[in-house]
Every structure is written in C-alpha cells, then in structure tokens.
C-alpha cells in the first residue's frame, strides 16, 4: 500500500475527529449548526486539497455556501462576498484539475516565477484599496483586515485552481491572521478551524513541494 493510499484512508478518521471536535466546540461555545457544518467540511476539504484529491472541490462548494451564511450573520461582509467568489472559483478549479493539463489531462503541480510575486503584491494592494471603502461603508467589522484577507484569499484560491505550489504560502499567511479576527467576533469554532487549516496548510506545502520536486526530477531525467 503506497503513501497516497494511506493518506486517502486517513480521510474517514479525520472526518470523524472533525465531527467530534465540532460538536465539542458547539457545546462549549454555542453557535449554530451551519458553523458546525462549515467546520467539518472545511477540515475534510482542506485535507483533501493537501493530498491532491479531486473530491475536495464538491466538499469545498458545500463549505463556502455554508460559511457565506455564517459570515452574513456575523457582519463580516467581505468574507461573505468572498464565499461567492470561492463558489465560482471552486467550479472552475474542479474543471481545471481534471482537464487543465496538456491535451486536457489532469493538472500537475507547477511553481510561479519570481516576477509574478510582484504582480500578486500589486493585486493585493489594489484589491484591498477597492474593498476597504465598500466594507467600511456597510459598517463591516474590522474592514481593513477583513478586506486585505479577502483579497489575499482570492489570490490564493486562483493559485490553487491552477495547482501553483505557492498557494500554500498565501493560505498560511491568511490562516495566521484570521484566527485572532474570528476570536474577536466570537466565532470560536471557526477560529479553531483556521488553526487546523494552518497545520494542514503547512503539511500541504511540504507535501506539494515534495511532489513538485519529484515531477521536475522525472522531467529532467
């Protein structure tokens, strides 16, 4: 039994643990069943991304739809609008992973060029400048941080859609900043979820980097 098969088999126990942790958090901190569903689908979905399993996309679509409602109730309007982008990008990413490779084959992990980091930073600055006054106008909570993280998350999702290795670097940054933001909005289960996301994102970066190096070694052989 190879390593990838072992990782796939871990999905079920991870889902069970996510359910148990979600129920414990709901019992301790309150919250509704939408946040619980978002917690479970979030953990399972991100884990499946880390092991490059295509099932991450349908589970991810359920997750973003659920959190769209949760963030609306918490007045995190930028995050709510982000779920709309994520849903559309999720559909696109699902197709790209299946048919985005050469001759419409399965997409492989690649890396961005150094100059493209400058374009990402520029897009982040411009996107945050556009989002901030809108969220501030609608009396959103933490408008600057919320806007900045929203734009960063969109950029990370775009990189993920095309299986760019660097998507994990952006997700790690996003997870680190989101944790205290959600604690400040009393979304304790969601804060714990993003702490789990952070661990999985670090694991995903390590796993994808290993696969990327193996693919490059095969191409140069």
Inform me whether the pLDDT recorded for 50 exceeds 80. Answer: yes
Number of domains in the chain: 1
Q: What does the mean pLDDT of the chain come to? A: 87
| SS3 (DSSP) at 164 | strand
Residue 199, pLDDT score: 94
d(CA 167, CA 145): 19
Range of the domain at 204: 3-220
Residue 220, pLDDT score: 61
pLDDT tier at 29 (50, 70, 90 boundaries)?
confident
pLDDT tier at 139 (50, 70, 90 boundaries)?
confident
* Packing angle, helices 167-184 and 188-220, rounded to 10: 180
pLDDT tier at 219 (50, 70, 90 boundaries)?
low
Tokens 């694991």 correspond to 203
The average pLDDT across 71-82 equals: 78
Rounded to the nearest 5°, which phi and psi values hold at 63?
A: -60, -50
d(CA 7, CA 105): 23
Inform me whether the pLDDT recorded for 68 exceeds 80. Answer: yes
Pick 71 or 109 by higher pLDDT: 109
Residue 6, pLDDT score: 65
pLDDT tens figures, 142-152: 788 888 998 99
The answer to whether 198 and 176 have CB atoms below 8 angstroms apart is yes
Residue 1, pLDDT score: 45
Residue 164, pLDDT score: 95
pLDDT tier at 48 (50, 70, 90 boundaries)?
very high
Inform me whether the pLDDT recorded for 165 exceeds 90. Answer: yes
Residue 179, pLDDT score: 92
The average pLDDT across 82-89 equals: 86
Residue 112, pLDDT score: 92
Inform me whether the pLDDT recorded for 4 exceeds 60. Answer: no
Tokens 């982008």 correspond to 85
d(CA 37, CA 19): 9
Tokens 């929203």 correspond to 150
Nearest C-alpha neighbor of 78 from the set 131, 123, 156: 131
Residue 73, pLDDT score: 83
pLDDT tens figures, 177-200: 999 988 888 878 778 888 989 999
């Amino acid at each position: 039994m190879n390593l990838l098969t072992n990782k796939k088999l871990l999905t079920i126990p991870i889902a069970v643990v996510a359910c148990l942790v979600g129920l414990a958090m709901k019992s301790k901190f309150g919250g509704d069943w939408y946040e619980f569903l978002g917690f479970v689908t979030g953990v399972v979905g991100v884990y499946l991304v880390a092991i490059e399993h295509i099932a991450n996309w349908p589970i991810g679509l359920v997750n973003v739809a659920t959190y769209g409602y949760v963030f609306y109730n918490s007045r995190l309007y930028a995050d709510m609008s982000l779920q709309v982008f994520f849903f559309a990008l999720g559909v696109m990413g699902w197709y790209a992973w299946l048919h985005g490779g050469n001759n419409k084959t399965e997409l492989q992990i690649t890396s961005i060029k150094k100059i493209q980091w400058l374009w990402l930073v520029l897009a982040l600055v411009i996107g945050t400048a556009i989002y901030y006054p809108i969220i501030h106008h609608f009396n959103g909570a933490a408008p600057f941080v919320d806007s900045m993280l929203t734009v960063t998350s969109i950029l990370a999702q775009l990189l993920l859609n095309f299986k760019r290795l660097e998507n994990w670097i952006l997700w790690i940054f996003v997870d680190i900043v989101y944790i205290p933001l959600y604690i400040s909005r009393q979304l304790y289960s969601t804060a714990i979820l993003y702490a789990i996301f952070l661990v999985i994102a670090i694991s995903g970066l390590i796993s994808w980097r290993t696969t990327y190096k193996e693919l490059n070694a095969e191409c140069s052989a």
